[in-house]
């Protein structure tokens, strides 16, 4: 089975390059242990923004290290988006990663992906006030790209609001 569901062959301009000009350093952290998914996920991200830097790790623990290193870099920029599988090797799952990232002073937009059914995921999540954005595998390519674009724009809005600027994207 293909990673992405079949989609219309018509090309949609999800995000014009002008909408990303405000991102001084744009990068997405992908946390996925199935390396067969690296080419299609990377391709989808690059179709949204060809200048996006894609950082790929296979464990939640390594993801936390990357997030810390990225924030401590000379640019001081955090990731524009984190995309993580829910079930990862080691102790840190995609859900625990999402909970940790949500505690940051400037939370990172995050998309969780899973091949598990919704009931299983809800059972794992338990009773929480805020449910993360979860996409089911196989991913619908067009919806996945639209979601990436939306989440990156949301990150920019959050940064602007934290600096006391307008919440309108220009």
In a domain, 153, yes or no: yes
Domain tally for the chain? Answer: 1
Domain range for 30: 23-122+129-162
In a domain, 18, yes or no: no
CA 99, CA 101: separation in Å to the nearest integer?
A: 6
pLDDT at 123: 81
pTM (2 decimals)? 0.78
Res. 170: pLDDT tops 70: no
For residues 91 and 81, what is the distance between their CA atoms, to the nearest angstrom? 22
Summarize pLDDT for 72-126 with one digit per residue, the tens.
765 666 888 999 999 999 999 999 999 888 887 677 889 999 999 877 887 877 7
| d(C-alpha 67, C-alpha 72), whole Å | 9
Q: Does the residue 30 lie in any domain?
A: yes
In a domain, 40, yes or no: yes
We report the CATH number of the domain holding residue 103 as: 3.40.50.2300
Whether the CB-CB separation of 148 and 12 falls below 8 Å is answered with no
Cβ distance 151 to 81 under 8 Å?
yes
Residue 13 lies in a domain: no
CA pair distance 71, 19, nearest whole angstrom? 23
Cβ neighbors of 148 (< 8 A, separation 6 or more) are 14, 28, 44, 45, 48, 81, 83, 111
Question: Is residue 16 one of the residues assigned to a domain?
Answer: no
Answer whether residue 6 is part of any domain. no
Residue 3 falls inside a structural domain: no
The pLDDT assigned to 164 comes to 62
């Amino acid at each position: 089975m293909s990673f992405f569901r079949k989609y219309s062959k018509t090309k949609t301009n999800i995000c014009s390059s002008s909408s990303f000009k405000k991102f001084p350093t744009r990068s997405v952290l992908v946390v996925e242990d199935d390396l067969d998914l690296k080419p299609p996920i990377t391709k989808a991200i690059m179709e949204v923004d060809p200048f996006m830097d894609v950082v790929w790790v296979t464990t939640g623990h390594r993801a936390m290290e990357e997030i810390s290193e990225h924030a401590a870099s000379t640019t001081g920029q955090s990731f524009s988006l984190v995309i993580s599988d829910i079930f990862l090797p080691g102790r840190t799952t995609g859900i625990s990663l999402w909970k940790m990232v949500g505690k940051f002073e400037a939370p990172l937009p995050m998309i969780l992906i899973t091949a598990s059914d919704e009931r299983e995921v809800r059972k794992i999540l338990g009773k929480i006030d805020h449910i993360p954005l979860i996409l089911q595998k196989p991913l619908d390519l067009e919806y996945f790209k639209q979601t990436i674009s939306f989440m990156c724009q949301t990150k920019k809005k959050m940064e602007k609001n934290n600096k006391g600027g307008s919440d309108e994207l220009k």
